[in-house]
Amino acid sequence: MTEENATHKYDVASLKGLTLLYVEDDDDIREELARYLRRRSGNLWTAVNGQEGLELFRQHRPDVVVTDIMMPVMDGLRMAVEIKAIDYDTPVVVTTAFNDYDLLLKAIDAGIDKYVLKPIDVESLLEAIYKAAQIVFQRREIVSRDEKLHLAATVFEASSEGIMITDAGNNIVTANRAFTEITGYAEEEVRGKNPSLLNSGRQEREFYHAMWESLNRHGHWQGEIWNRRKNGELYPEWLVINVVRNGGGEISHYIAVFSDISQRKYDEERIAYLAHYDPLTDLPNRVLFQDQLGRLLASSQRQEKPVAILLLDLDRFKNVNESLGHVFGDQLLQQVAQRLRSVVSEEDLVARLGGDEYVVVLSDLGEAQNAALVAQKILDGFASPFSVDAQEISITASIGASLYPDDGDSPDALLKNAESAMYGAKQSGRNSYRFYTQSMNASVLSLLKMENAMHHALERGEFRLHYQPQADIVTGRIIGMEALIRWQHPERGMVPPMEFIPLAEESGFIIPIGEWVLREACRQTKLWHDAGYSDLCVAVNLSAVQFKQSNLTDVIQGAAEAAGLDLRCLELELTESLVMHNAEDVIKTLQQLKSLNLQLSIDDFGTGYSSMSYLKRFPVDKLKIDKSFIRDISDDPADLAISQAIIALGHSLGLRVIAEGVETAAQLALLHANRCDEIQGYYFSKPVEAAAFTKLLEEGRTLDIPKD
């Protein structure tokens, strides 16, 4: 029967997705049926004998095999046996012209599923293939169902979230591994029990009532809940419960999925804490301080009580960080916070605004003058050294005070004015307190304006170097010069160094200024060398901030190399107080500097408290007598005695000695008589610009040597 005459009682679409192998040695039959089957199944392979069919089966693994029996090379029955050996479940339909009982038995033995006689009735063949396809599709469904069940079981066990399933009576049926990890209960310990064994006792009855109402009405509930582990520990979890109903719409199970959110809760609390508290000292930070101060001011306004703001800044804390390290500095800041808490009352607000800046708010002040008593109490509390890592360190503080409502009616205004007062305390010598005044605010604004202008001054080339000659006291010749910075301000004119150098050191801007001084001094000195004055040495002052630079030797070497100056012609002047602070560390730094083959001198010698045991270990070349001893050397026997002692000490240590601030012939005569090596001062020349210094060299200017 041809395809055109066939009528089908089967849904042709049901064969879609089915893969077929058709084996037939008759070309006409094979081609006609192949066209017919291909349009219905979509995927069809054909072969002319059993051997070829077996190879195609091994290659493609079709769902159903349709084959003739009698074929050359390998017959259909032999091929069927081989196929069944590979996959016994693959349906095989045979077509044959022989209606033979023995042949039928052989086919059954070979595992043939369907038998269609030739000439082939398309309807019968389609029926056989359709029935074979149902077997395939059922098997697929079973496999798919098994895979889904296996996948669901795998997900159930592998889930990082706890899963608990209860029956309609709310008795635990099963639980996964994560349930055990979170709660501490093994599945066998909870099976058949009510989930109430996990209750923390934190939730009220109304909480559970609302939960069950949501489950009954909506079929699900989710929210945060506290439960109890097997060891008694309480923990927060995020819980989702869903209702499962059977085919009749009745509740069969409840599925609870939950996760331990202890870490998330901790993180949330930590974030909230860090938003309002300083993590280093546990004091309120600027944000919380502003909020609490606003509340205190509102309360004080209603009660008509004064409030005092004490802004505290540690003196020279940068030196601690730079010399002892930030870890040491952080520990010191923590101890400062503890000491502040200990010296003020519990009602007072103590906060850290950042860096080394703290603030105390006195809300239960009583009389305004009591703020001064508390400020002094804080300063007295700092009198005892702090102990950090078994090392004692003394540090002082400067305190600025402002009063509400006299000095401002808002947190910002009060804090700003307390800051002005604090700067006033620093200017007056530190380790003190000051109250806000209008003139003080103007002074602070002036300082801030100068600091800003100082940054621009370097960019605009407003800084200048002046050079003060240093003369040999024996030959009278100029043997060197001290480079001294000056600021040519476009509006104020020449700004004295004492006005901007302390500010530059306080702000850290002394670092770029100091590097500029080094480069410019080296450059100018090399010009004088090239002009024939090759024995000149230039002395440059080094601040304490520069001295603590980790890359100081690189900076010095770079300045000299850029100018082409021999480092033997560079002298660094360091103050006595600087070198005696942390002397052991200073010795290491001095040795590093000395390895560059430059010269080192101790400036302002005699004003500090030098230890001879350290002084003899310093790799220095020169001592510089401070001008405070030279000023009255001809009138004050004590100053003369000190100067004589310094000269003798220097010579005994093999050092040259230079006196600064020499302004009279009498001073020069005494220094000459006591064998001082060098002098500088107005008696010979004031500091002058490079051009004027060049003129002194060209004129051959010498010092008038006193006669013995």
Coil, helix or strand at residue 615: helix
Query: How far apart, in whole angstroms, are the C-alpha atoms of residue 579 and residue 583?
Result: 6
Distances (CA, A) of 417 to 23, 354, 357, 633: 102, 18, 15, 46
Q: Can you tell me the mean pLDDT for 157-184?
A: 88
At 607, is the pLDDT very low, low, confident or very high (cuts 50, 70, 90)? low
The confidence band for 435, taking pLDDT boundaries of 50, 70 and 90, is: confident
């100091």: which residue's tokens?
514
Residue 13 predicted with pLDDT over 50: no
Structure confidence at residue 14 as a pLDDT band (50, 70, 90): low
pLDDT for the residue numbered 144 = 64
pLDDT score at 12? 47
What pLDDT was estimated at residue 4? 44
Report the DSSP beta bridge partners of residue 393: 386
Q: With a cut of 60, say whether residue 532 has pLDDT above it.
A: yes
- pLDDT tens, residue by residue, 50-107: 899 999 999 998 888 988 888 888 988 888 888 888 888 888 888 776 655 555 566 6
User: According to the model, what pLDDT value does residue 523 have?
Assistant: 96
Confidence class of residue 545 from pLDDT cuts 50, 70 and 90? confident
pTM of the prediction?
A: 0.47
What pLDDT, on the 0 to 100 scale, is given for residue 610? 53
Spatial separation of the C-alpha atoms in residues 645 and 652, rounded to whole Å: 10
Q: Count other Cβ atoms within 10 Å, centred on residue 160.
A: 11
Lowest mean pLDDT among 134-143, 221-230, 557-566, 673-682: 134-143
**Taking the chain, what is the end-to-end CA distance rounded to the nearest angstrom?**
149
Which has more pLDDT, 296 or 468? 468
Rounded to an integer, what distance in angstroms lies between the CA atom of residue 619 and that of residue 322? Answer: 22
Q: Answer whether CATH 3.20.20.450 is correct for domain 509-699.
A: yes
Q: For the chain, give me the number of helices (H) and strands (E)?
A: 26, 26
Contact 343, 378 (CB under 8 A): yes
| pLDDT of res. 100 | 55
Q: What is the mean pLDDT of residues 368-393?
A: 85
pLDDT tens, position by position, 171-215: 998 888 889 999 999 999 999 999 999 999 889 999 999 999 999
Cα–Cα distance for residue pair 468/693, rounded to 1 Å: 8
pLDDT of residue 95: 79
- What pLDDT does 1 receive? 39
pLDDT at 636 over 60: yes
What pLDDT does 588 receive?
86
Confidence of residue 471 (pLDDT cuts 50, 70, 90): very high
For residue 284, what pLDDT band results from cuts at 50, 70 and 90?
A: very high
pLDDT(495) > 70: yes
pLDDT average, residue stretch 554-581: 87
Using pLDDT thresholds of 50, 70 and 90, give the confidence band for residue 358.
very high
Residue 315 reports pLDDT greater than 60 = yes
Peptide bond into 119 cis (omega under 30): yes
Mention every residue, 6+ apart, whose C-beta is less than 8 A from residue 243: 215, 219, 220, 251, 253, 254
Report the half-sphere exposure of 241 (CA within 13 A, side-chain side): 23
CA distance 608 to 577: 6
Residue type, 570: L
Query: Which conformational region is residue 547 in: left (phi greater than 0), alpha (psi within -120 to 50 degrees), or beta?
Result: alpha
CA neighbor of 606 nearest in space, from 652, 567, 575: 575
Please check the confidence at residue 310 and state whether its pLDDT lies above 50: yes
What pLDDT score does 537 carry?
A: 96
| φ/ψ (deg, to 5) at 17 | 90, -5
Mean local confidence (pLDDT), 552-578 = 90
Least confident segment among 38-42, 96-100, 240-244: 96-100
Residue 401 structure tokens: 């005070």
Q: And the tokens for 297?
A: 């001011």
| Average pLDDT of the residues of the chain | 85
Write down the pLDDT at residue 682. 95
Predicted pLDDT of residue 580 = 62
CATH superfamily of 3-150: Response regulator (3.40.50.2300)
Q: How many CB atoms lie within 10 A of CB 629?
A: 24
Break the chain into its structural domains and give their ranges: 3-150, 159-266, 276-436, 509-699
Q: At a CB cut-off of 8 Å and minimum separation 6, what does 700 contact?
A: none
What's the CATH fold of domain 276-436? Alpha-Beta Plaits (3.30.70)
pLDDT value, residue 146: 64
CATH 3.30.450.20 is right for the domain spanning 159-266:
yes
Q: Is the pLDDT of residue 7 over 50?
A: no
pLDDT confidence bin for 647, thresholds 50/70/90: very high
Flag the least confident range among 94-103, 184-193, 372-381, 530-539.
Answer: 94-103
Q: Evaluate if residue 707 carries a pLDDT over 80.
A: no
